Amino acid sequence: MSHRSLSAPSIDTLTVEALAQARQLTGIEGDARIVVSPYRFNPLGAHIDHQGGAVLARCLNQYTILVFWPSADRSSTVHACLQQGVWQDSQFEPEELVEDHGWDAMARASVTAFANHSPMSHGITAVVTGTLVSGGLSSSASVILAYLSALAEANDVCLSPVELVELARQVENDYRGLNNGIQDQMSIAFGERDHLSILNVEEVSAELVADPDSISQVCFLMCYSGISRDLAGSPFNTRVAQCLEAARLLSSDAASLGEVPLALRTKDAIEQLPSIQARRARHVYSEMQRVRDGALAWKSGDWQAFGQMMNMSCQSSINDYESGSEWLIALHEIASQLEGVYGNRFSGGGYGGCLFMLVDVEAVEQIADTLLERYLARYPELQGEARIMIAESESTVRIVSPDSLNSTSVSHGQ
C-alpha cells in the first residue's frame, strides 16, 4: 500500500465530479453554487459535550458536497445519495416534515428550521453526496450545515457560526429526536485548517490551537471499520440519560455533570453512585481532564503524551462509557500493538464508524498494511468495505466557485 493510495481525492476533483453529476441529474445548465462541508473527528473529548465538557476537534478531508440552484419559490427539491449508494429524491415546502431519522427528514427539518429563523423567499434544488457517510465522522452535522449554508446563500442571509450551530442543534434535537450536544456542528462551523479547536460548548465558542512546527513528524490515520453508525438506532440517548441521572445524584440542582460543583465531584462521591452512573461520571470527568492536558501536549508537540491520552480516552469509552462496538474494539486492540502508533481512539459515538490513530509519518504505510491485514483476517466479510486513509486537516463549511474552484468562506458574520 503506497502513501499515494492512502490519500483521499482532492476537493477540486470531488467538486468537478459533483457538479457534472448534478447537471446530469437535474438537467439545469444555469449557474450552480456549491457548498463544501467537511467532516470532523475528535482526538479527545468523547461523550462529554452533552455534559458541558470542552472538546478537541479537527476538520478532515472527507466531505458533504451540495450543488444547488435557488428555487423560484419556497419549495425545495433534493436529490441525495447519502446511504449505501442509493439515490433518494424528495420535493417539499417548509413545515412538511416526516417522522423518521433518514436523510429526507434531515433535509426537510433543515429547511423548516431555516424558514423559522430567517426570511425565506427561495428554497433550493440540490444534489447532495458524501464521501464517507455513516463513518462516525459527523456526516449528519456536515449535511445539515450544508443545507443551512445553501439556504442562507440562496436567500442572501448571513449566518454566524453560532447561528449555524443553533439551527443545526434544532434539526438534531427538536426534529430528529437525538439528545446529542452541539460539538459536531461546532467542530465544523469553527474549524480551521492546520489547527485543533478547543470547543467550549457552554459558551458556543472556540479557541484555535495551531499545529506545532513538528507536525510533519506525525499524521492522523483513519480506518473505516466497514460498519456504519446511526446514533438514532444506538444506545446514545440511554447513555446521555445515565449521565444526567449521575449528575442529579451528585447534586440535585445540576442539569448535567458539568454543572456539578467541583467540591462534589470527589472520587468518594462518585464511588457512592450506583455502578452504571458511577462509570458514566468517571468517564466524563476523566475525559474533561484529558482534553485540558491534551491541548497542552499538542501545543508543545509531545506526541507520546498526546497519544497516551488518546489511548486512555478509548479505554475509558469502552470500560466506563460502554460505547465501543465489536469491530471498533478489534481495531483499537490491533492498532495498540503496532509500532509507530502513538495513540488511537474511536470516532463519533463509538457504535460503528472509524478508528483514528496518531502515527509516526515514517511508519504510516507499514501501519496501514498491517492493520488492515489483521482486521480483515478477523472479519473477511468486510473485505471491500473496510478501508484506511490519511486524515488531512480541513477548514470550515464554505461556498466553492464552480468556475475557479477556489474556496471562499461562507459569510459567517465574523
Q: Which of 49, 184, 302, 320 is catalytic?
A: 184
And the C-alpha cell for 94? 417548509
Q: Is 194 a catalytic residue?
A: no
Residues near 64 by beta carbon (within 8 Å), at least 6 away in sequence: 35, 36, 37, 39, 128, 129, 130, 139, 142, 143, 145, 146
Q: How many CB atoms lie within 10 A of CB 381?
A: 9
Residues 10-49 as b/e (b if ≥16 CB within 10 A, e otherwise) read ebeebbeebbebbbeebeeeeebbbbbbbbbbbbbbbbbb
Instruction: Give the C-alpha distances (Å, rounded to integers) separating 403 from 19, 32, 129.
Output: 11, 10, 20
Element (H, E) at 146: helix 139-154
Q: How many CB atoms lie within 10 A of CB 250?
A: 21
CA distance 101 to 273: 34
CA distance 91 to 101: 17
**Looking at the annotation, which residues are catalytic?**
184
